[in-house]
Structure 1
Amino acid sequence: MTALVLALLAGAVVGLALGGLGGGGSVLAVPALIYLLGFSPAAATTASLVIVAVTSVTALVAHAREGNVRWRTGGLFAAAGLVPAALGGALAGRLPEAVLTGAFAVIAAVVAVRMLRPAKADDGAAEAGAEAGAEEVRPGRPGAAAGAGAGLGAVTGVLGVGGGFLVVPTLTGTLGLRMRAAVGTSLLVISVNALAALATRSGTAEGLDWGLIAPFAGAAVLGAWDGKRLAGKVPAETLRKVFAWGLAAVAAVMLVDAVWWGAW
């Protein structure tokens, strides 16, 4: 199987996860780039940022047309993550490969655990509120939101993940956005963070294989549309569990890999 076919298949899976689950799918991009396409961890995180930026901006346009983006709230949240994202992007190129792989394995495990946890009652209330068209559930806490925004920016910059699994709960729980608005607004935050991190990685972009990254990103964008249709046919809980267990297995492999290479 050629590298191009693998890139298309991997991108389609990432897109399906993003479209079907609303977040978390970009976490699969880095391990796919490393283990299927032969990228180094540093190159994979940079390439993942490109893929995350393309898919997030594309999805953001669609959500903006539907009125699901809270621009002021998202802009303030993203602003808190700009500097950490840029610094994280600059730091990533200087970290040992074993450290990058191990850190990513931890993040992937955290995402898997979060997705396996039962949905909270607040989430259901938020979803119901979204159908009613309301925007807020409770007053926001700007300090906590700024801290979460900075933390998300750092994670995006260093590891090349979108971070929707972190930003959506913060927007709903801390800032009180309804679920639909939180998903749309999270795409604004992710897009800004990914672009900020990429700006500091310009030196690492020269050696990337764009012949694989471009079809990967294109397949992810197209797969996201199919993922939305899939979400309407398969129970969300089933999708979440399948994805979570698969991600947990990926995290275990990457952790073993990090420990192995770290030992050498």
Structure 2
Amino acid sequence: MSVLIAAAALPCGLLIGLLLGALGGGGSVLAVPALVYLMGQSPHEATAGALVVVAVGAVSGLLCHARAGRVRWAAGATFGALGTAGSFAGSRWSAALDPGVLMAAFSVLMLVVAAGMVTRGTRKSERADAEAGSENRSENASKNRSENGSETTAKESPPRAHPARLRDAVCLREATRLRQAVRRSSSGRPTGPHISRTSPAPRPRPLRTIVTASAVGLLTGFFGVGGGFVVVPALTLVLGLEMPIAVGTSLLVILINSGVALATRAGTGSLDWPLLATLAACAAVGSHLGNRLAGHLRPRTLTTSFAALVAVLALAMAATTLTGL
């Protein structure tokens, strides 16, 4: 590894780690372009070497989420094990593909990642605005109630209801609840105003789980990326995990898939281990710094800027690759 390549690996690794730590995923997609265009690696070597960076980033993030209790080890290990066949097939397929076609496909993947990050950032911003609006409305309602309560106490107190009327109202309410319970037990589902708003957990579908896990493994093995933008929604929709749990568990799935893909590619060509070790170490340091900076930056601005950078790089890669075909 020359001095110039080492000098290029330091800022690239830090940038990848910063994005991983600040955004929680997506930064590893920059590892392949950096290895190809800045460090002189071939597309096959780059997609294989990027798995080292992905694995190191997954380990560091997994430790943080595990300490916070946001990892479902059994579910993640099962989902990752089901994706090993897809990871093996994707690695073999990528190694046999023409380098130009591989880079053209990777540029398409980068555009998909950029669009997905913009969509996810927009949804998070809309959700945050809706929550802030509901909080403001509840605060205004409580203020109005307190003001109306103070005015009512200042005035003459309203007449109290007769005890017999209160007893009749209670009996009527209890009879209504009893009729609703009878209807629920006979129909098998809740009716009336007591319908539960919590969505039930999805029923386990083995075939759907196997297909989804294999597709995730195929993506990791073929492109050499973690695929967190696919793993997290898959764990949420297929296994019914909550979003924070899905994010932490996805790192276990990524670690398993990247490990299988790296072991599959180990015999297909030589890897520059000193270069990859330097890049991965810088990415680990940058991920730690990104976690600290995440609370001081506007998430939507950071996500939009990163998506724009990925889109520009994807278009440049596509133009370079298509002219060389």
TM-score with structure 1 setting the length:
0.89
Q: In 2 relative to 1, CA 173–138 (structure 1 residues): closer, same or farther, beyond 3 Å?
A: farther
Aligned amino acid, residue 123 of structure 2: A
Question: CA 1:7–1:246 in 2, change beyond 3 Å: closer, same or farther?
Answer: same
Change (3 A) 1:238 1:120: closer
Q: Which amino acid aligns with 1:45?
A: T
Alpha carbons of 1:75 and 1:123: their partners in 2 closer, same or farther (altered >3 Å)?
A: farther
> What's 2:26 paired with?
24
Deviation per CA, 1:68-100: give whole Å up to 9, x if none.
101122122212210010111122211100111
Which residue does the alignment assign to 2:310? 247
Whether the aligned pair in 2 keeps the contact of 1:168 and 1:186 (CA below 8 Å) is yes
**Residue number among 236, 252, 259 corresponding to 2:299 in the alignment:** 236
Deviation of 1:204 (Å): 3.3
* Larger RCO (alpha carbons 8 Å, 6+ apart): 2
Q: Which residue of 2 aligns with 1:81?
A: 83
- Equivalent residues of 1:43, 1:204 under 8 A apart: no
Structure 2 CA distance for partners of 1:137 and 1:202, relative to 1, 3 Å: farther
SS class of match (1:232): helix
Query: RMSD over aligned Cα, in angstroms?
Result: 2.1
Asked if the contact 2:125/2:300 (under 8 Å) is kept, the reply is: no
**What is the aligned partner in structure 1 of residue 116 from structure 2?**
114
Do the aligned residues in 2 keep the contact of 1:56 with 1:190 (CA within 8 Å)?
Answer: yes
> Which AA in structure 2 matches 1:107?
L
Q: Does 1:139 align with 2:201?
A: yes
Query: One-letter code of the match for 2:249?
Result: T
Aligned residues: 251
**Alignment map for 1:80-229 (pairs within 5 Å):** 80-117=82-119, 118-119=122-123, 138-140=200-202, 142=205, 143-206=207-270, 208-229=271-292
Kept in 2: contact 1:11–1:218 (CA 8 A) = yes
Q: Matched residue of 1:204: which SS?
A: coil
| Alignment match, 2:47 | 45
Amino acid at match of 2:86: P
What is the CA distance between 1:55 and its match in structure 2? 1.5
Is the 1:34–1:44 Cα contact (8 Å) retained in structure 2?
yes
Deviation at residue 182 of structure 1 after TM alignment = 1.1
Deviation at 1:146, TM superposition (A): 2.9
Q: Which SS does the other structure have where 2:113 is aligned?
A: helix
CA gap of 1:38–1:45, structure 2 versus 1, over 3 A, is same
Identify unmatched segments of 5+ residues in structure 2.
Answer: 132-197
Give % identity: 45
Cα 1:138/1:22, change in 2 over 3 Å: farther
**Deviation of 1:187 (Å):** 0.2
1:172 and 1:17 map into 2 onto residues whose CA distance is 23
- Please, what TM-score do these two structures have when normalized by structure 2? 0.73
When Rg is computed on C-alpha atoms for both structures, the one with the higher figure is 2
